[in-house]
Amino acid sequence: MTDNCPNCPRQDVAPVAEHTRGQHISHLYQCPACGHVWSTNRDLGAYGQEAA
């Protein structure tokens, strides 16, 4: 799952790390354009997905 950088206009940034625990998935991102680092946490059930 890609994300858009919250610090600059860069779109479709791929995660550099992923962690799944139960129905929750976390992604760590680093923007290749500006170097900004951020993470996301999602509940897979809210997206109609199952943990792999």
Burial class (CB in 10 A: 0-12, 13-18, 19+), 25: buried
Q: Which runs of consecutive H residues, i.e. helices, occur in 1-52?
A: none
Q: Where are the domains of the chain?
A: 1-52
Render pLDDT for 28-40 as a digit per residue (tens, 0 to 9).
999 999 999 999 9
Q: Give me the pLDDT at residue 51, please.
A: 60
In the DSSP assignment, the letter for residue 15 is E
Render pLDDT for 3-25 as a digit per residue (tens, 0 to 9).
999 999 999 999 999 999 999 99
Alpha-carbon separation of residue 24 from 18, 40, 50 (angstroms): 11, 10, 9
| One-letter amino acid for residue 39 of the chain | S
Three-state DSSP class for 52?
coil
The model's pTM: 0.82
For residue 50, pLDDT beyond 80:
no
Confidence of residue 1 (pLDDT cuts 50, 70, 90): confident
